[in-house]
Amino acid sequence: MKPVYYENGELKLIDQTKLPTTFIIHSYTDYREIATAITDMIVRGAPAIGVTAGYGVYFGALEYKDEPKDIFYDKMKEVCALLASTRPTAVNLFWAIKRMEAVIEANKDKDPTRLVEILKDEANAICSEDIQMCRDMGKHGAELIHYGDTILTHCNAGALATADYGTALGVIRAAHEAGKNISVYADETRPFLQGARLTAYELQADGIPVTLITDNMAGWMMKQGKIDGVVVGADRIASNGDVANKIGTYSVAVLAKAHGIPMYVAAPTSTIDFAMKSGDEIVIEERDCREISHIGGIQIAPDGVAMENPAFDVTPHQNITAIITEKGVVYPPYDINIPKLKDEI
């Protein structure tokens, strides 16, 4: 299940706002429309957003490649700024744009018509590396899962949130493929329902036993001993191990700690913001409150009621048992062990 890929001169995105009832793939060649697709969450999930932004930069370069060099570089600044303005929390977006900008900078001596081809190669590389990182993460993470475990996950950190295979669901997939006989509880993940719409859909399609619960059921499932471990993804990890992920992850982490259940975060090193000292600095996206007041287009809250809709929260590193990356499993003390990862990238 590839939510983002390049084919025959077009960027293809599975429309994740329509799943699971309708499966549509949209085609893009305009970087402005690609930016809108990120903002509107047609594509979502930190690594998938990064991959999409990489292609967005390429399509911007393709549009402006015949301009005089100075205009081309000015336009590319505009392209990158637009793509960077789409969503603030997932660092993979900025990581991918910076990587594309570095390619532009390193090839300034070349004609834009040649540079555009190099940018296409880079966007393709970001995409294929993401798949490999997910596979490697899966291998490392599966070792932490025991035979017969039931795993709770929150939001969708699956193939649909990456270029393929997934981060948290990559670990779950790898454990399943290793014959560990695992099963999964998927939080529905209010208000955007990525758990109900995407995780349940993805796991069901793969034949991995999944039970959907509402977010407020997780604690009770833990109390009854029905959950052996939690595995979630991440949108940004600070260098002290604080983790920004979908709103509700913090509550799950607190519950896991209270019940003595391991809380694992699976994320590629592209999700680590090495420059950020702690999660206090992470910008949390605030989204339209209509996501709360309405479900499936039907109003469920009174007109005019006050609402808040933070899309992410930050789980303090003290609540996280281990962070699974493509380079291996990282344990506390995170402020020492995360910076060490930088040398391995």
**Active-site amino acid positions:** 235
Asked if 325 touches ligand MRU (CB under 6 A), the answer is: no
Asked if 313 touches ligand MRU (CB under 6 A), the answer is: no
- Least Cβ distance, residue 91 to ligand MRU (angstroms): 10
Residue 336 to residue 233: CA distance in whole angstroms: 21
C-beta of residue 213 within 8 angstroms of C-beta of residue 187: yes
**Residue 246 labeled ligand binder:** yes
Asked if 44 touches ligand MRU (CB under 6 A), the answer is: yes
Asked if 52 touches ligand MRU (CB under 6 A), the answer is: no
Sheet-wide strand order for 312-315 = 272-273, 236-238, 243-246, 312-315
- What is residue 9's three-state secondary structure? coil
**Residue 46 labeled ligand binder:** yes
Asked if 157 touches ligand MRU (CB under 6 A), the answer is: yes
The residue sitting closest to ligand MRU, measured at its beta carbon, is 233
Q: Which of 115, 155 has the CB closer to ligand MRU?
A: 155
CA-nearest of 44, 149, 75, 61 to 110 is 61
- Least Cβ distance, residue 104 to ligand MRU (angstroms): 26
Q: Which of 38, 42, 46, 163 binds ligand MRU (CB under 6 A)?
A: 46
Residue 2 to residue 131: CA distance in whole angstroms: 10
Q: Which of 76, 90 has the CB closer to ligand MRU?
A: 90
Q: Which of 151, 234 has the CB closer to ligand MRU?
A: 234
Asked if 241 touches ligand MRU (CB under 6 A), the answer is: no
Q: Which of 79, 155, 210, 230 binds ligand MRU (CB under 6 A)?
A: 155
Residues 6+ apart with CB under 8 A from 272: 91, 237, 239, 325, 338, 341
Q: Kindly state the number of chain residues that form the binding site for ligand MRU, as judged by CB under 6 A.
A: 17
- Least Cβ distance, residue 251 to ligand MRU (angstroms): 14
For the chain, state the CA radius of gyration.
20
**Burial class, 280, CB count within 10 angstroms (exposed 0-12 / middle 13-18 / buried 19+):** exposed
Binding to ligand MRU (CB under 6 A) within 191-220 occurs at: 194
- What is residue 110's three-state secondary structure? coil
Phi and psi torsions of 227, nearest 5° = -125, 130
Q: Which of 155, 186 has the CB closer to ligand MRU?
A: 155
Residues 6+ apart with CB under 8 A from 292: 191, 301, 307, 309
Residue 341 region by backbone torsions, left for phi larger than 0, else alpha for psi between -120 and 50, else beta: alpha
Token output for 209: 């036993």
Residue 97 to residue 79: CA distance in whole angstroms: 10
**Residue 65 labeled ligand binder:** no
Binding to ligand MRU (CB under 6 A) within 79-108 occurs at: 90
Q: Which of 51, 133, 161, 193 binds ligand MRU (CB under 6 A)?
A: 161
- Contact stretch for ligand MRU (CB under 6 A) within 154-162, 175-183, 219-227, 276-284: 154-162
What does the angle CA 206 – CA 175 – CA 95 come to, to the nearest 5 degrees? Answer: 85
- Contact stretch for ligand MRU (CB under 6 A) within 43-51, 72-80, 318-326, 328-336: 43-51
- Least Cβ distance, residue 199 to ligand MRU (angstroms): 10
- What is residue 174's three-state secondary structure? helix
**Residue 87 labeled ligand binder:** yes
Asked if 245 touches ligand MRU (CB under 6 A), the answer is: yes
- The residues that touch ligand MRU, with contacts defined as CB under 6 A, are 44-47, 90, 155, 157, 161-162, 167, 194, 233-235, 245-246, 311
Annotated binding-site members:
44-46, 87, 194, 245-246
Annotated binding-site members for substrate:
44-46, 87, 194, 245-246
